[in-house]
Amino acid sequence: MKKPEYYLTTAIAYTSGTPHIGNVYEIVLTDFLARFKRLEGYDVRFQTGTDEHGQKIEEKAAAVNLTPKQFVDKVAGDIKRIWDEMDISYDRFIRTTDSDHVAAVQKLFEKLYRQGDIYKGSYKGWYCTPCESFWTESQLVDGKCPDCGREVKEAEEEAYFFRMSKYADKLLKYYEDHPDFIVPLSRKNEMINNFLKPGLQDLCVSRSTFKWGIPVTFDSKHVVYVWLDALFNYVTGLGFDGEKGGTLYEKYWPADVHVIGKDIVRFHTIYWPIFLMAAGLPLPKQVFGHPWLLQDGGKMSKSKGNVIYADDLIKYFGVDAVRAYLLREMPFDNDGTISWEAVAEKTNAELANIYGNLVSRTAAMSQKYFGGVVENASVTEAVDDELIAAATSLRDKVKKAVDAFKVADAIDEIFLVLRRANKYIDETTPWILAKDAAKADRLKTVLYNLTETIIICTTLLGPVMPKTAEKVLATYSAEKRDFADLDKFGLLKSGTTVTQTAEKLFNRIDIEKLLSEVEAMYSERAGESGKAKGSEKEAPASEEKGGVQKPENELIGIGDFFKVKLKTGVVVASEHLPNSKKLLKNTVRIGDETRTILSGISKWYTPEEMVGKTVVVAYNLKPAKLAGVMSEGMLLCAEDDGNVVLLTTEKEVRSGSDIS
**For 109-137, what is each residue's pLDDT tens digit?**
999 999 999 999 987 778 887 777 777 78
Asked if 60 and 248 count as a contact pair (C-beta separation under 8 A), the reply is no
In this predicted structure, what is the pLDDT of residue 325? 96
In angstroms, the CA 360 to CA 354 distance is: 10
Q: How confident is the model at residue 503 (pLDDT cuts 50, 70, 90)?
A: low
pLDDT-above-90 percentage for the chain:
65
CA distances (Å), origin 458, targets 40, 320, 389, 407, 416: 15, 13, 17, 16, 13
- Confidence class of residue 612 from pLDDT cuts 50, 70 and 90? confident
The upper half-sphere exposure of residue 486, i.e. CA atoms within 13 Å in the direction of its Cβ, equals: 25
502 vs 461, more confident: 461
Give the Cα-Cα-Cα angle 215, 282, 247 (nearest 5 degrees).
75
**3-state percent breakdown (helix, strand, coil) of the chain, nearest 5:** 45, 20, 35
Residue range 46-75: mean pLDDT, rounded: 95
Distance between CA atoms of residues 195 and 265, nearest Å: 11
Which residues belong to CATH 1.10.730.10 in the chain? 339-497
Q: How confident is the model at residue 624 (pLDDT cuts 50, 70, 90)?
A: confident
* pLDDT tens-digit readout, 346-369: 999 999 999 999 999 999 999 999
| Digit-coded pLDDT (tens) for 512-557 | 999 999 888 888 777 665 543 332 333 222 222 223 233 334 455 5
pLDDT at 535: 29
What mean pLDDT comes out for the span 200-216?
93
pLDDT higher at 333 or 346: 346
For 566-587, the pLDDT digits (tens) are 999 888 788 887 767 778 889 9
The C-alpha atoms of residue 638 and residue 71 are separated, in whole angstroms, by 36
- The predicted model gives 335-340 an average pLDDT of 89
Residue 645: in which H helix or E strand, if any? strand 643-646
* Alpha carbons 108 and 385: distance in angstroms, whole number: 61
pLDDT tens string 504-523: 899 999 999 999 998 888 88
Give the residue, 284 or 650, on which the prediction is more confident.
284
Which of the four pLDDT bands, split at 50, 70 and 90, describes residue 298?
low
pLDDT level of residue 336 (50, 70, 90 thresholds) = confident
Q: Percentage of the chain with pLDDT > 70?
A: 91
Q: pLDDT-derived band of residue 302, with 50, 70 and 90 as boundaries?
A: low
CA 199 to mean position of chain CA atoms: 32
Cis peptide before 430 (omega within 30 of 0): no
For residue 261, what pLDDT band results from cuts at 50, 70 and 90?
very high
624-638 mean pLDDT: 83
Please say whether the structural domain 564-660 has been given the CATH code 3.60.10.10: no
Is 305's pLDDT higher than 90? no
Number of C-alpha atoms within 13 angstroms, CB side, residue 163? 15
CB 643 within 8 A of CB 604: yes
The pLDDT value given to residue 553? 42
Torsion angle in degrees (nearest 10) through CA of 65, 67, 69, 70: -40
Q: Residue 315: pLDDT above 90?
A: yes
Give the start-end residues of each E strand in 406-555. Answer: 496-497, 541-542, 547-548
In this structure, are strands 13-14 and 133-135 parallel, antiparallel, or unpaired?
unpaired
Across 102-111, 433-442, 626-635, least confident range: 626-635
pLDDT of residue 552: 38
Judge contact between 364 and 430, C-beta under 8 A. Answer: no
pLDDT on residue 537: 30
pLDDT score at 558: 52
Whole-number mean pLDDT of the chain?
88
Query: Binning pLDDT at 50, 70 and 90, where does residue 436 land?
Result: very high
Measured CA to CA, the distance from residue 531 to residue 185 in angstroms comes to 49
Q: How confident is the model over 282-306, as a mean pLDDT?
A: 75
The CA radius of gyration of the chain, in Å to the nearest whole number, is 29
Is 9's pLDDT higher than 70? yes
pLDDT at 383 exceeding the cut of 50? yes
Give the pLDDT score at 532.
36
> How many beta carbons lie within 10 A of that of residue 201, not counting itself?
15
Domain(s) labelled CATH 2.40.50.140 in the chain stretch across 564-660
Amino acid letter at 151? E
CATH annotation of 339-497 = 1.10.730.10
pLDDT at 306: 57
Residue 588 has pLDDT above 80, yes or no: yes
Q: What pLDDT is attached to residue 551?
A: 34
Q: Is residue 195 pLDDT above 70, yes or no?
A: yes
- Looking at residue 51, its amino acid is D
Which of 484-498, 570-584, 610-624 is the least confident region?
570-584
Question: How distant, in Å, are the alpha carbons of 390, 420, 475, 582 from that of 417?
Answer: 6, 5, 20, 57
